[in-house]
Amino acid sequence: MTVLENQRSVFRFAPSPNGRLHLGHALSALLNRDMAKTSGGRLLLRIEDIDLSRCTPEFETAIFDDLTWLGISWEEPVRRQSEHLDEYRQALQKLIDLGLAYPAFMSRGEVKAHVSEAEQRGQPWPRDPDGAPLYPPTDRERPTIDKERLLADGRRHAWRLNVAKATAELGRRLTWTETGHGPKGHIAARPEDWGDIVLWRSDAPSSYHLSVTVDDALQGVTHVVRGLDLFHATAVHRLLQELLGLPAPVYHHHRLILGADGRKLSKSAGDTALAALRAQGLTSADIRRLVGLA
Ligand code: GLU
């Protein structure tokens, strides 16, 4: 790679093939393409398919079709997360070796029961920025000998990050550079708001947070352009970058396209699916207008 190529900005659009792309994805993909073009940068496409129970090859093909219809082209080969589990496994191992990851044995049902018991006792349970209850401290505080016995017994478990220990060992507050449609400038990262995030799931390999952080670094991504729904998650990504010794991209979290009910679009929102709009005879220029791009 020449020095010149090295200096080019690298953007990526990273959809999950677990449904049809909708107008929100169109805004994200078009913004990535526009920003790459204006800065003379590169555009990568990453297929985030670690959750194999929800992702299908048909949805992946549909992503290629929808993007091509939008007039977007990307570099080949496309990175498919399901083909890189070893890289995420290595990152997890590094965090385990640093003493910052612990096996988490509680099922979703057990967490729910634990939280509602506490709430019934009148103890308010902290929630993460998405409204989900934080993982209880039970496994984090479990004596090593207990942990080893449960692991030796083959008990089903995830791996979680001990966020309090990780931030304490880091010893400094993290920030990120934000240029998007919400708060801008140097944003103070608050990974502790998420509690002990999952690094490796018991029902699917790796976690969104771990794989996205590893991939952005391995692919040399310099600019992450994605929806404001992932704004707060950036705090976790910054923490993982620091712990794993990875560079921090610039972040640009764009406005969300809301449905008629005022809520964020979901992949099941049939009438805003790009394929449905295409079938109604809309053109890619119409889509640009619909998502508010001139
Ligand atoms: N795969 C995520 C999604 O489809 C996007 C992740 C990201 O851009 O960081 O919502």
* Structure token pair of residue 100: 């910052």
Tell me how far apart the alpha carbons of residues 153 and 105 are, in angstroms, rounded to a whole number: 12
Question: Does residue 224 share a domain with residue 89?
Answer: yes
Q: Is the CB of 16 under 6 A from ligand 1?
A: yes
Q: Is the CB of 48 under 6 A from ligand 1?
A: yes
pLDDT digits (tens, 9 = 90+) for 252-288: 999 999 877 777 777 665 668 999 999 999 999 999 9
Nearest CA, atom 7, ligand 1: 14
C-alpha triplet 268, 270, 272: angle, nearest 5°: 110
Q: Is the CB of 228 under 6 A from ligand 1?
A: no
Number of the ligand 1 atom closest to the C-alpha atom of 212: 9
Question: Does residue 27 share a domain with residue 101?
Answer: no
Q: Which residues of the chain have pLDDT under 50?
A: 1-3
Question: Does residue 124 share a domain with residue 24?
Answer: no
Nearest CA, atom 6, ligand 1: 14
Which pLDDT does position 200 carry in this prediction? 96
Classify residue 133 by its DSSP letter. B
Question: Does residue 290 share a domain with residue 193?
Answer: no
Which pLDDT does position 7 carry in this prediction? 79
Which residue in the block uniquely carries the two structure tokens 């008629």?
Answer: 260
Which pLDDT does position 4 carry in this prediction? 52
Pairing of strands 101-104, 158-161: antiparallel
What is the domain extent for residue 35? 1-83+257-294
Q: Is the CB of 15 under 6 A from ligand 1?
A: yes
Q: Any idea what the CATH number is for the domain that residue 164 is in?
A: 3.40.50.620
* Structure token pair of residue 246: 């990875």
Q: In the chain, how many domains are there?
A: 2
Tell me how far apart the alpha carbons of residues 188 and 199 are, in angstroms, rounded to a whole number: 22
Question: Does residue 237 share a domain with residue 101?
Answer: yes
Number of the ligand 1 atom closest to the C-alpha atom of 15: 4
3-class DSSP state of 28: helix
Question: Does residue 166 share a domain with residue 51?
Answer: no
Question: Does residue 218 share a domain with residue 155?
Answer: yes
Pairing of strands 10-13, 175-178: unpaired
121 CA to middle of ligand 1, Å?
37
Question: Does residue 218 share a domain with residue 110?
Answer: yes
Ligand 1, pocket-test mutation among 212, 216, 228, 232, most atoms within 8 A of CB? 212
Question: Does residue 17 share a domain with residue 35?
Answer: yes
Tell me how far apart the alpha carbons of residues 98 and 244 are, in angstroms, rounded to a whole number: 10
Nearest CA, atom 2, ligand 1: 15
Question: Does residue 73 share a domain with residue 89?
Answer: no
Neighbours of 45 (CB within 10 A): 22
Q: Is the CB of 49 under 6 A from ligand 1?
A: no
Nearest CA, atom 4, ligand 1: 15
Ligand 1, pocket-test mutation among 79, 207, 226, most atoms within 8 A of CB? 226
* Structure token pair of residue 68: 């091509």
Question: Does residue 115 share a domain with residue 73?
Answer: no
220 CA to middle of ligand 1, Å?
17
Which pLDDT does position 292 carry in this prediction? 95
Question: Does residue 42 share a domain with residue 172?
Answer: no
